[in-house]
Structure 1
Amino acid sequence: MNNTLDLLNLLEYIDPSILTYQEWVNVGMGLKQEGYTASDWDRWSTRDTKRYRNGECFTKWMSFQGSNSPVTGGTIYQMAVDGGYVPLRKDGHALDWDDEIKDDLVVVDQAWLEGQDIEEPNNWEPAKELIKYLEILFDSTENVGYVTATWEKDGKYLPTKGHWDRTSGQLIQELNQCNGDIGAVLGDYKEQAGAWIRFNPLDGIGCKNDNVVDFRYALVESDSMELDKQNAIIRELELPVACLVHSGKKSIHAIVRVDASNYDEYRKRVDYLYTVCKKNGLEIDQQNKNPSRLSRMPGIMRNGKKQFLIDTNIGKSNWNEWFEWIEGVNDDLPDPESLDSFFDDLPDLAPPLIHGILRQGHKMLMAGPSKAGKSYALIELCVAIAEGDKWMGWNCEQGKVMYVNLELDRASCLHRFKDVYTAMGVDPNNLKNIDIWNLRGKSVPMDKLAPKLIRRAHKKNYTAIIIDPIYKVITGDENSADQMAHFCNQFDRVCTDLGSAVIYCHHHSKGYQGGKRSMDRASGSGVFARDPDALIDLTELSLSDELVKHEKEKAAANYISLALQNLNQDYFEENVGLDDTLSRAQMLTHANRCLTRMQYIDLEKRLDKVMRLAGQKTAWRIEGTLREFAGFEPVNVWFDYPIHKIDDSGVLKDVMPEAEKPPWQKGVESRKPKEKKKEERQNKLEIAFANLEMDHNEITVNDLSQEMGVSNRTVWRRIKEHGGFDFIRTGDGKASIIYRKEEENTCDNN
């Protein structure tokens, strides 16, 4: 059996109610293979209240006869990991089933441990011992369970259920008046057997776990080592012991404060307590976990030996204080370092991943409004890292990248990657460097996702993990600084454990963004902007009608130029000048001269689409806040679906962001002539339709309504006003599919 990982602790991460029958059986087989008991399996199985059957585990247990390929504890370990269990080594890597935990939660150095002797009391007053025990553990109004009667089996005296009908106050009053005769109060007991008491208060109805009214204490008992060693370890561990009782034989009973609010919390705290004791050399009797357990009663004789109080109120004062202490001893935090030791021999900086922007193992946030193409930008970054290419003008080091897709269905995501590769003009030579983890509909909060991600990415040597988008995995209120700090710490965990950069995107806050710094535009707490090592922010630029017209003309001229080179290379080289390639009108004149009538008609049809798409391009300004590098001048880009392209011409340099238009400019625009407003309405319809074309095979009125932020009735009015769209009624009559009309082009070419 691998005894370095406690399978009973691992079971806390496995919910039996969601397992199949075979998975439930596998847990039982694994427990038996590793030397655990049917009771362990049965206790865990009770968590499945709907399917649990009393006695079923014990019957099934007997049928597990072993095999050549047995189910082992490794199966239980893997199920626990799938449930969120991620133990870490000191070096930050996740533990496997066969790894050994040597120093986690270890306080006691066994090599230097000296036993601590226990002195039997000389002037022993049994009734006072028991009174002191009751006063420490119980309130005067709480019912106490105790046993003095026994029955014999195989030469052993075993306790009966006993009594639970009197309160601590009643017992103390009677003990004060009994002249030292405990039997007169509790009933006579056999000295060969001794007597027992329950350390948690009961409801006065019974003595089972269900009758416990306050899960206040747990029993720590070990009968497999010397008494002085037991005593020493209990004290070294600073256990919050209320009463330490000598059993009258070969063990000490420590009544430890666990202060649990309910039974589930009690179980978890006792498991933790027992784990700490075991790792520190105190072998605990695992049968003592239940809160209604009997312990040895002080003030009683047992085979000529006293059951007596060794000590009271030792160690930490309560569970929380002890827990913080035991965790603090093993906090894994580094010790402070003297700068003098490293000033002349500094460690190497992490190498850059995106030159001038981000180092390997660091964090980057990309923020922007809706329709900025953030997802496409991150896919472009995946391609740039995988192929060692440029991203937004910055060189990227080649490496492996995992893209965590939380928003797109699998097919759409894969198509986007191919579309981006094609549009970037990059040869897909290193597709093996990109792994995609599709989690749409399966995402979990980041604190649960992080360990699952780490487990899957371990040993893959990713240079970057890209998470898109984070609103799908945010835990807590995004406007709460402390909750978002906890959320962002999960990215640190991924960076530290994998040595990978973590890159993620988030949306802008609602409302006016003008006047805000780039780092203050992301939605939610300012933690988002201040946590990453690099923040890349996209803001939309407000394009004038003249600039849009210029881009449409330029796109048309460029398209005609490429067409002529393809269809009539000789004419192009002899007759077309450089200035001509910048003018749509000039290029159409050349096309009219050198192309056939059919070629010209086909060119005009295609040209209309080219100009329409050019008019739908959006412009964006990239600004940044960097921790590791000097700042950079804003970068202007076009989002020309499906990729972003650097504005090499400089036409966007002086364009103002949409959100930063001065009030006077907005006022002028509000007074535009009716025809101008009509044109804008039509443009908005065109842009909305084009945006939906990116991800939809069929576009409905509802789709356009949501995209434009207007009612269905308004969409119908604008479709009618535009004149370039038509519709088809669907079979159910509940929706209409909108499509673009085919335009008939005429040509004067003879």
Structure 2
Amino acid sequence: MEHKLDLVALLGHVDPSYLDYQSWVNVGMALKYEGYTASDWDEWSRRDSGRYHPGECFKKWTTFEGTGNPVTGATITQLAKDNGWLPRSAHDRELDWDDEISGSSGDYVVVDRNWIEGKEIHEPAEWNPVQQITTYLSALFEASENVGYVTEAWQSEEGKWLPTKGASDRTAGELIELLHMCDGDIGDVFGDYKPEAGAWIRFNPLDGKGVKNENVTEFRYALVESDTMDIEKQNAVMRELELPIAVMVYSGGKSLHAIVRVEAANYDEYRKRVDYLYDICKRNGLAIDKQNRNPSRLSRMPGVERNGKKQFIVDTNLGKASWAEWHEWIEGINDDLPDPENLTDTWDNMPKLAPPLIEGLLRQGHKMLMAGPSKAGKSFALIELSIAIAEGIKWLAWQCTKGKVLYVNLELDRASALHRFKDVYAALGLSGHNISNIDIWNLRGKTVPMDKLAPKLIRRAQKKNYIAVIIDPIYKVLTGDENSADQMAHFTNQFDKIATELGAGVIYCHHHSKGSQGGKKSMDRASGSGVFARDPDALIDLVELDLTEALLMQEENKAVCSMYQHLFQQYNPSYLQEHVSQDDLLSAKAMEDHAKRAIPGQLAIAQEGVKQAVKSVRIRSAWRVEGTLREYPKFDPVNMWFQYPVHRVDDTGSLKDIDPEGESSSPPWQKATGKRKEKAKEERRSKAEEFEDAVNNCNFGEPPTVMDVMAWYGSTGKEVAERTVRDWIKKHGYEIDRSIGYRIVKKKEE
């Protein structure tokens, strides 16, 4: 399970000791929903030694049964982001240590090394070894962090001087203090070094117990060094690349040592960022030895001499201020965006508009969102749209262009999806002459996040000539926080990619936010960020109408009359023509009386037909379709009935004066009064629910004491007095049970 490692790695950024109880539980729920084990949750929870209890995670795990609104892996993703984790770009992918990042040769090339002019380096005018090393230590380390360094060296058979293990038992603060007291003799601080060999220093802080990668405490910096071009060009290229360099040191040999900020949260992220950094350097002419990648790597110590040449600081704080700023700059510098064009170039030769997909609503290659509540039959509406495009007929009130359509089914099992298509075809009275125009991609249980699904979809659809791709529903492939504008912009950009690559209309559905939708504009009803409503070229919104009893009775009368008329046409058509007036055709009572005379032998059938007609009306729901369009003028609302499994437009105007649910015709002052009363009622209920939540959760599910509840509220930033908690105990139906140690329990009904 590929995503399992990813989520466990994300939890490495989240310290359970900083989470409140509910957030800790949410992590467990999210892990279970995404297919992890209780052991994963338990292993992570052990990091909170103050609250961890063996076996508690496994006991709690069995109570997570799942709900209609599950806690998903997005919760863990957001917690990791809140604690400093940054999502990897497409180029910052999972790599093995010896992998190379693929890509075209022109990608990420900032520097043309054949044309760039070299930039000279200069030795300090006044040689001050103490100042050199002090500047280096101050730039890279906190005073309390241990520093690794090496002054002892040995000579190999080839005559090359190599460093020993060295020391790591002193902090940067201790070293700086000793340097200030050494009267210029750095050998008194670090030990004497061999002038022919120079000295070395490690650029990441250590734990003082060793000098290996596992001893690194902060993965802050990486070494960029290349000896394949002359010093002046190295200097120019590193500066041109805007590398976020903390310190640049001349090695006293053939290279510069740039200590670059990578600011990784852990070793795994350090490896990925260094791979990305080295790939960018390589593309721009800086071929770097792979051995330099280790976070415990030695670099050249400034302030010493090596074989007659000084090792010195060339510059500090070069390029971008941070890894994040540099990464964003690099990604943007080599974009594939088109150049601006002048309007005069096309004024007399305008490009053709994309052909319509849904006349008056949507063009081919554009995007449409359908939003609505759970009982609107959105999936059936999208199946109806698939059929309308395949057959080249009307969908609701709009004519569709005939062509091939891909329906991406993310929710239903394969059999249910196929049966739905056949049932809708039958309910619409269509024979299915063009069913070859419909492809269904069944992905229930196989879904991946949208940024992973989009390229897979494009690859499969590229040669199929689809004019429409319908994705139902998007919550199955949603990643990130749906209330975050930037995260949802990234999510919806995937639909742009599909539309652009395939030239097909992309249609997808999303759910409404909770609560009444009648008083809202169509753009404000979709759940989550406003990006959902503002991104598509067409927004189709469904809101339920509040049917009155009078209207339902009127519809029952119509249905019964229609049923009788059908029976007359079947069993006694001449009577219908000669004796039934236009007024009688609109009266269920009159038609019943006629039936007794005209078809006495079919009264049992008629009675059963009346029951079915009334039932068919009572199971209907009524809906109003509104919308916001980018390419076409605003349309008048379309009213329709949803009678499983299809929607039918209300051509008779029965629904035109019906208000949406939650929107009454009361005067504004009455609406305001009602809202205030409802708000007060909700506040009272929410306080009771909040107290119940506190009692249930503040002691890991066991009955709490008054002090436990007070501490729970305190952890949320809301301090409450003991007397207040005791008042709430009485007010919300609880009592203090002395027999179990004065703990709060639900009051027993008398």
TM-score (structure 1 length as normaliser):
0.67
Amino acid of the structure 2 residue aligned with 1:378 = L
Shift of 1:601: 4.2
Match of 2:162 in 1: 158
Q: Secondary structure at the match of 1:114?
A: coil
1:400 aligns with 2:404: yes
- 1:382–1:130 distance in 2 versus 1, CA, 3 Å: same
Partner deviation per Cα, 1:594-644 (whole Å, 9 max, x = no partner): 8795x6645654553244224433332222222221122222222222111
**Mean CA deviation greater in 245-254 or 505-514:** 505-514
Partner deviation per Cα, 1:381-404 (whole Å, 9 max, x = no partner): 111122222101211122333333
Amino acid of the structure 2 residue aligned with 1:507 = H
Q: Secondary structure at the match of 1:522?
A: coil
Amino acid of the structure 2 residue aligned with 1:365 = L
Amino acid of the structure 1 residue aligned with 2:364 = Q
Amino acid of the structure 2 residue aligned with 1:642 = P
Match of 1:616 in 2: 619
Q: Secondary structure at the match of 2:371?
A: strand
- 1:14–1:161 distance in 2 versus 1, CA, 3 Å: farther
Alignment of 1:396-475 (within 5 A): 396-443=400-447, 446=450, 449-450=453-454, 453-454=457-458, 456-475=460-479
**Mean CA deviation greater in 417-426 or 581-590:** 581-590
Q: Of residues 109, 122, 144 in structure 1, which corresponds to 2:112?
A: 109
Match of 1:259 in 2: 263
Point out where structure 2 has 5 or more consecutive residues left out of the alignment. Answer: 9-39, 44-86, 93-99, 671-750
Shift of 1:186: 2.7
Q: Secondary structure at the match of 1:325?
A: helix
- 1:535–1:313 distance in 2 versus 1, CA, 3 Å: closer
Alpha-carbon distance in 2 for matches of 1:98, 1:256: 20
- 1:143–1:529 distance in 2 versus 1, CA, 3 Å: closer
- 1:337–1:367 distance in 2 versus 1, CA, 3 Å: same
Alpha-carbon distance in 1 for matches of 2:431, 2:288: 63
Alpha-carbon distance in 2 for matches of 1:131, 1:523: 56
- 1:140–1:512 distance in 2 versus 1, CA, 3 Å: closer
- 1:14–1:509 distance in 2 versus 1, CA, 3 Å: closer
- 1:255–1:596 distance in 2 versus 1, CA, 3 Å: same
Q: Secondary structure at the match of 2:381?
A: helix
Amino acid of the structure 2 residue aligned with 1:395 = Q
Partner deviation per Cα, 1:76-104 (whole Å, 9 max, x = no partner): xxxxxxx998569xxxxxxxx99842333
Amino acid of the structure 1 residue aligned with 2:232 = D
Match of 2:323 in 1: 319
1:296 aligns with 2:300: yes
Shift of 1:376: 1.1
Q: Of residues 280, 283, 290 in structure 2, which corresponds to 1:279?
A: 283
Alpha-carbon distance in 1 for matches of 2:604, 2:586: 21
Quick check: 1:557–1:587 contact (8 Å CA) kept in 2?
A: yes
Q: Secondary structure at the match of 2:533?
A: helix
Match of 1:633 in 2: 636
Alpha-carbon distance in 2 for matches of 1:109, 1:241: 20
1:225 aligns with 2:229: yes
Shift of 1:293: 0.6
- 1:237–1:562 distance in 2 versus 1, CA, 3 Å: same
Quick check: 2:391–2:402 contact (8 Å CA) kept in 1?
A: yes
Quick check: 1:84–1:451 contact (8 Å CA) kept in 2?
A: no
1:354 aligns with 2:365: no
Partner deviation per Cα, 1:444-483 (whole Å, 9 max, x = no partner): 5555655555555455444333233344444455555555
**Mean CA deviation greater in 377-386 or 335-344:** 335-344
Alpha-carbon distance in 2 for matches of 1:144, 1:510: 55
Alpha-carbon distance in 2 for matches of 1:200, 1:213: 8
Q: Secondary structure at the match of 1:371?
A: helix
Q: Of residues 641, 652, 656 in structure 2, which corresponds to 1:653?
A: 656
Quick check: 1:143–1:203 contact (8 Å CA) kept in 2?
A: yes
- 1:294–1:617 distance in 2 versus 1, CA, 3 Å: same
Match of 2:52 in 1: none
Alpha-carbon distance in 1 for matches of 2:101, 2:331: 24
Quick check: 1:518–1:623 contact (8 Å CA) kept in 2?
A: yes
Quick check: 1:212–1:291 contact (8 Å CA) kept in 2?
A: yes
Alpha-carbon distance in 1 for matches of 2:631, 2:174: 71
Amino acid of the structure 2 residue aligned with 1:161 = K
Shift of 1:199: 1.2
Shift of 1:556: 4.1
Shift of 1:277: 0.7
Which protein shows a greater Rg?
A: 1
Match of 1:365 in 2: 369
Q: How many residues align?
A: 583
Question: Taking every aligned residue pair, what percent have the same amino acid on both sides?
Answer: 62
Amino acid of the structure 2 residue aligned with 1:517 = K
Partner deviation per Cα, 1:158-189 (whole Å, 9 max, x = no partner): 32211112233443454456565544543344
- 1:125–1:540 distance in 2 versus 1, CA, 3 Å: closer
Q: Of residues 137, 157, 161 in structure 2, which corresponds to 1:134?
A: 137
Match of 1:735 in 2: none
- 1:280–1:177 distance in 2 versus 1, CA, 3 Å: same
Shift of 1:13: 9.2
Amino acid of the structure 2 residue aligned with 1:376 = F
Amino acid of the structure 1 residue aligned with 2:207 = D
Amino acid of the structure 2 residue aligned with 1:662 = S
Alpha-carbon distance in 2 for matches of 1:516, 1:593: 53
Quick check: 2:538–2:627 contact (8 Å CA) kept in 1?
A: yes
Shift of 1:356: 0.6
Alpha-carbon distance in 2 for matches of 1:334, 1:258: 31
Match of 2:198 in 1: 194
Partner deviation per Cα, 1:26-53 (whole Å, 9 max, x = no partner): xxxxxxxxxxxxxxxxxxxxx9xx9xxx
Alpha-carbon distance in 1 for matches of 2:612, 2:326: 72
Match of 1:212 in 2: 216
Alpha-carbon distance in 2 for matches of 1:589, 1:229: 103
Alpha-carbon distance in 2 for matches of 1:427, 1:475: 40
TM-score (structure 2 length as normaliser):
0.67
Alpha-carbon distance in 2 for matches of 1:360, 1:259: 45
Amino acid of the structure 2 residue aligned with 1:653 = K
Amino acid of the structure 1 residue aligned with 2:534 = R
Shift of 1:194: 3.3
Q: Of residues 643, 647, 656 in structure 2, which corresponds to 1:644?
A: 647
- 1:507–1:300 distance in 2 versus 1, CA, 3 Å: closer
Match of 1:167 in 2: 171
Alpha-carbon distance in 1 for matches of 2:429, 2:200: 82
Q: Secondary structure at the match of 2:109?
A: coil
Partner deviation per Cα, 1:212-261 (whole Å, 9 max, x = no partner): 23322210112333333322211211212233233333332211122334
Quick check: 2:101–2:279 contact (8 Å CA) kept in 1?
A: no
Quick check: 1:200–1:212 contact (8 Å CA) kept in 2?
A: yes
Amino acid of the structure 2 residue aligned with 1:391 = W
Alpha-carbon distance in 2 for matches of 1:110, 1:429: 63
Partner deviation per Cα, 1:678-715 (whole Å, 9 max, x = no partner): xxxxxxxxxxxxxxxxxxxxxxxxxxxxxxxxxxxxxx
Partner deviation per Cα, 1:537-576 (whole Å, 9 max, x = no partner): 233334454543443344344445556656788x689878
Alpha-carbon distance in 1 for matches of 2:156, 2:446: 56
Q: Secondary structure at the match of 2:387?
A: helix
- 1:642–1:87 distance in 2 versus 1, CA, 3 Å: farther
Match of 1:707 in 2: none
Match of 1:731 in 2: none
Alignment of 1:39-54 (within 5 A): none
